[in-house]
Amino acid sequence: MKNLEPFRMPLQGINLIEASAGTGKTYSITSLYLRLLLEQGLLVEEILVVTFTVAATEELRERIRKRIVQALDYLEAEERSKCLKEDEALAGWLYGRNRAEEDAARLRAMLASMDSAAVFTIHGFCQRMLAEHAFESGLAFDQEFIESEDLLRLEAAQDFWRKWFGDETLHPLLAQWLYDRHGDPEQLLKTIAVRLGEPLALLPETPPVEEIASGLVSTLETLEKAQDELKESWAEQHQAVVEILRNDPALNRRSYGAGAVEKAIAAAEQLCASATPLLEPLEKQELLCADTLAQKTKKGKVTPTNPFFEAAGAYTAIQVSLRTELELLSVAFQKAARTFVQKHIEERKRVAHQLYFNDLLLRMEESLRGEPGRGFARHLRRRYPVALIDEFQDTDAVQYSIFRAIYGVQEAGTGLCLIGDPKQAIYGFRGGDIFTYLAAARDASRRYSLGTNWRSGSRLVEAVNRLFGNRADAFLQPGIEYHAVEPSPRADDEPLLLEGAEPVPL
């Protein structure tokens, strides 16, 4: 992988720049921006810059503005040697063009137009394009954009809950088990929230909830009978059972120690006190079963027997047989909830002519499909010939498919530059999708990395290089590599001191 030289990198095609923390990512972005203004003659309205938070767009817009001011100062400077010393790459490129007066005039004009610069969040970009091209995108002209779906989601979860628990649709034992597992509508919503709005996510295949629940009825009836027998036996044999568990010399006390025995007795009391059977075994319940007592009897000793142990074994065996089907029921229930809630939200938004943030991405992605989509993409390329995507590791599959549809076609004067840190693409909580990053890496015409860390001391840089450089698969996923970086020449000019000494790097 080549080390990036921002003033020499080709501007056309798809370029992927891997930028570790502190390696000058923003410097590179603003350098490329200057080249697009002066070399390619683009206007600030024609250079699409995308990042992933509103705050980041404002910060990036200001950094671009300051870089234009810096370049303008260099062009108008009387002492060029001072500028070359301060930023050799920028100054050398500007002076090498030998068009100082013309370039300065253009930069002054672009500086005055910065309020119109096309610096957006991905959602902001999609919203603007869909609204401006409502005919091509099929977006209603009276569409309302909403910032939150929380209330719609809660209403949908409550409706789903009433559907399943309000009219005794489920066997009472299954209804109670699902409630214990997933909680009330608010808790269920938290469980399925990660699935909502992710049409590309693969959901496990399961039979419908009704089919699974119906298949469990006979087993539940058998469990209810087993509980009756267990209760009857406990009422008659309680004292004898406790005596055996606590004191019978034939039992291996490594398994039937005092603490374990008391938990087993508590489990027996809870099982028999419950008005309805429990669908899952309690802690140390297995110690009540005849089979377990036989396995844990000392060699040469006679296993103690009691009708209660037989009844407990039969009851527990039914519980164990339910495990797989109950887990399947739980998954099917979550899947049904996800589908119901999503359909409810979509219908409510359709009737009210509303769109949420993720809807913008999906509508944009849909608008770029097929022959009409290719025409729409062509129009967007002409409006924004080049796009710079910051924090690319935070991009998901839908977002990347939008940029790929627009800029994946080789066309003179167009380019897509993806800038990010692949080592952060593994963090799903930030929205990053490692497979999206790897797909983009395969699509890229060229791949670069930034080789100098401008933020950390040399000892820390060396320690991190050594930590991750010892293994080719340091990040486990093929395609994600660690590229060693160099400390900046000024890395140790002002070292960090704690109580008068440099801290240990790692």
Residues 367-382: what's their mean pLDDT? 93
Query: Dihedrals φ, ψ of 235, to 5°?
Result: -65, -35
CA–CA gap between residue 244 and residue 261 (Å, rounded)? 10
Question: Which residues, listed in sequence order, are joined to residue 501 by a DSSP beta bridge?
Answer: 498
Encoded amino acid at 48, one letter? L
Q: How far is 103 from 94, CA to CA, in rounded Å?
A: 9
Q: Which of 37-46, 179-188, 231-240, 273-282 has the lowest mean pLDDT?
A: 179-188
Of residues 356, 436, 360, the one with CA closest to residue 401: 436
- Give pLDDT, residue 200: 38
Report residue 223 CA to chain centroid gap: 41
Please tell me the least confidently modeled range out of 110-114, 164-168, 355-359.
164-168
Look at residue 199 in the predicted model and tell me its pLDDT. 47
Are residues 154 and 186 in contact, defined by beta-carbon separation less than 8 angstroms? yes
DSSP annotation of 472 reads T
Structure tokens at 179: 């409630």
pLDDT band for 196, please (50, 70, 90 cuts).
low
Per-residue pLDDT band for 231 (boundaries 50, 70, 90) equals very high
Q: Averaged over 131-151, what is the pLDDT?
A: 75
Average pLDDT, the chain: 89
Report field, pTM of the whole predicted structure over 0.85: no
Yes or no: say if 241 and 234 are a contact pair by the CB < 8 Å rule.
Answer: yes
pLDDT confidence of residue 505: 66
**How many CB atoms within 10 Å of residue 265?**
18
Where do the domains of the chain lie, and which CATH numbers do they carry? Answer: 5-140+357-450 (3.40.50.300), 152-352 (1.10.3170)
Q: What is the pLDDT of residues 43-88, one digit of tens each?
A: 999 999 999 889 999 999 999 999 999 999 999 999 999 999 999 9
Give residue-wise pLDDT tens across range 236-292.
Answer: 999 999 999 999 999 999 999 999 999 999 999 999 999 999 999 999 999 999 999
Spell out where 338-464 has E strands: 354-355, 386-389, 415-420, 446-449, 452-453
User: Out of 48-62, 193-207, 408-422, 488-502, which region has the weakest mean confidence (pLDDT)?
Assistant: 193-207
Report, as an integer, the average pLDDT of 331-359: 89
CA–CA distance, 79 with 82 (Å, rounded to integer):
6
Question: What pLDDT is attached to residue 428?
Answer: 61
- Alpha-carbon gap, residue 491 to 410, rounded angstroms: 41
